[in-house]
Amino acid sequence: MKQKKNTDSSTITRLCIVISCFVLAAVSFSVWYQRNTQLATYNLVQSKISELEALQKENELQTVDTQKLHQQAETAKQQINKFDFIASYRNLEQLKSLTTTDQALLDEAIYKRQAEEAAQAALAKKRESAVAASGSTNQPGTFVLPIVMYHKPPANFAEQMEVLKNKGYTTVHMNDVASFIAGRAKLPPKAAVITFDDGFAVQKDVMGILQKNNQKATLYLIEGGGMSHYCIGLLRKNTACGDAYLSVQDVKNMLSSNLIEIGDHTVDHPNMAALSQADQQFQIITNKAFLEQTFGVPITTFAYPYGNYNGTTVRLLKQDGFLTAVTTQPGVVQSFDEPLLLRRIRSTLELP
- Same domain (yes/no): 74, 161: no
pLDDT of residue 26: 64
- Same domain (yes/no): 168, 79: no
- Which residue type sits at 75? T
- Same domain (yes/no): 284, 149: yes
Q: Is 262 helix (H, G, I), strand (E, B) or coil?
A: strand
**Which DSSP string do the residues of 145-210 spell out, in sequence order?**
--EEEESSPPTTHHHHHHHHHHTT-EE--HHHHHHHHTTS----TTEEEEEEEETBGGGGGGHHHH
Confirm whether 352 is domain-assigned: no
Q: Is 326 helix (H, G, I), strand (E, B) or coil?
A: strand
- Same domain (yes/no): 176, 253: yes
Give the model confidence (pLDDT) of 9-64 as tens digits: 666 666 666 666 666 666 667 678 878 887 888 888 888 888 888 878 777 777 77
Name the DSSP class of 251.
Answer: H
Confirm whether 207 is domain-assigned: yes
Confirm whether 128 is domain-assigned: no
Confirm whether 274 is domain-assigned: yes
Confirm whether 96 is domain-assigned: yes
- Same domain (yes/no): 149, 95: no
Domain extent for 90? 2-106
Average pLDDT estimate for 156-174: 96
pLDDT of residue 134: 37
Q: Residue 281 sits in a domain of what CATH number?
A: 3.20.20.370
- Same domain (yes/no): 187, 318: yes
Q: For the chain, how many structural domains are there in total?
A: 2
- Same domain (yes/no): 185, 234: yes
- Same domain (yes/no): 92, 155: no
pTM (two decimals): 0.68
pLDDT of residue 71: 86
- Same domain (yes/no): 163, 311: yes
Average pLDDT estimate for 82-100: 83
Confirm whether 258 is domain-assigned: yes
Alpha-carbon distance values, 208 to 204, 212, 242, 250 (Å): 9, 6, 26, 14
Q: What is the mean pLDDT of the chain?
A: 86
Confirm whether 113 is domain-assigned: no
Kindly provide the residue ranges of all beta strands, DSSP E only, lying in the chain, ordered along the sequence.
142-144, 147-150, 170-171, 191-198, 217-221, 260-264, 301-303, 324-326, 333-335
Strand partners for 196: 150, 219
Closest CA to 102 of 138, 139, 137, 55: 55
Confirm whether 39 is domain-assigned: yes
- Same domain (yes/no): 192, 95: no
